[in-house]
Amino acid sequence: MKDLRFIAIEGVIGAGKTSLAKIFSNRFHAGVILEKFEENPFLEKFYSDPIKYAFHTQIYFLMSRYRQQRKIAQIDLFKSRVITDYLFIKDRIFAEINLNEDEFTLYDKIYRLIERDIPLPDLVIYLQAEPEFLYKRIKKRDRSFEQEIEYEYIEKLCEAYNTFFFHYNRSPLLIIDVKGFDFISNSKDVDLIYNEIKDLKEPRRIIFREW
């Protein structure tokens, strides 16, 4: 565990990234950097009119995430631990889904210029879930700007995320099928994942429970 100085937690909307990042920040005595999605002035407009506001939304997120990641690069990771509730490269997953061809070409030029400055995590945790499970969670938590999200959009994201992480090899990867786990109410579930992380020796591992 001494080498795990930077951990990134990823997953589709509703997977529980932020909750787990906060919990593990205490377990690992780490600083936590969370996405400030609520500060994006285009996000609610995007869910209402994706074609019109996709590029605005994506560029805002790209630069916001870039600024946060540069802060991580400036931290002395030999003395501190950091946990984030996103992986920088995931921005490109959304861009490929949301932008048209011309918009993505321009986006990609900007992305390629700045990605070289982004630090790689020592471990990525991917919270995997089925679209039905995520859609129910999103509706249940009742965030106003998420109520326009369509089920088909969640399906697209799940497919894109699964494809991406099937090929991901830039960092050690721990995949958790979140169905069957309750990280907020069940401390034993947190203990299980915490111990898996401490004992992790494989570059890729999948954890799931029978449901």
Q: Which amino acid is at 133?
A: F
Residues forming a β-bridge with 146 = none
Active site residue 3: no
Say which of 3, 49, 76, 85 is annotated catalytic.
85
**Which two tokens mark 152?**
């088909």
* DSSP sequence for 35-85: --GGG-TTHHHHHH-HHHHHHHHHHHHHHHHHHHHHHHHTS-TTT--EEES
Closest CA to 89 of 28, 149, 164, 139: 164
Catalytic positions, please? 85
